[in-house]
Amino acid sequence: MPNSTQTFQINPQGDVSPSGAGAQMSISGSNNMPNQAQWRTASAHMTVKLPSDVWNVTPNDGTAYAFGIAPNSQSPVFSLQQNALQGSQMYVIDSGPSIKGGETRPTVIVNP
């Protein structure tokens, strides 16, 4: 299933679904797992930071690529690197100032 896309939903608090074991991806797109991802927001602006050792991005925020998503919108599609780190990989969702600090750190499971 090469070049299929996983959609990640971000709620207004910055929590992402799916995450962890529910967010299985495959570098090669095998076993019916996607090798690309797209994020969708609910009613709030979010900033997503993808680590450049996992995703096919050019860093603009240290070793990550940071981009904003307007309320009720979706991001471009991003693919896993061919040599991405495997296993549980974290990225950052920044929902701005809030009581809980504004950042969540969801994970995806990267498979070969």
Question: Could you give the CA distance from residue 38 to residue 63 in angstroms, rounded to a whole number?
Answer: 20
pTM of the predicted structure, to 2 decimals: 0.92
CATH classification of the domain holding 80: 2.60.40
pLDDT per position in the chain (112 positions), as tens? Answer: 457 999 999 998 899 999 999 999 999 998 899 999 999 999 999 999 999 999 999 999 999 999 999 999 999 999 999 999 999 999 999 988 765 668 999 999 999 9
Q: How many domains does the chain have?
A: 1
E-strand ranges in the chain read 5-10, 16-17, 24-26, 36-41, 46-51, 64-69, 78-79, 87-90, 92-94, 103-104, 107-111
Note down the domain range covering 95.
5-111
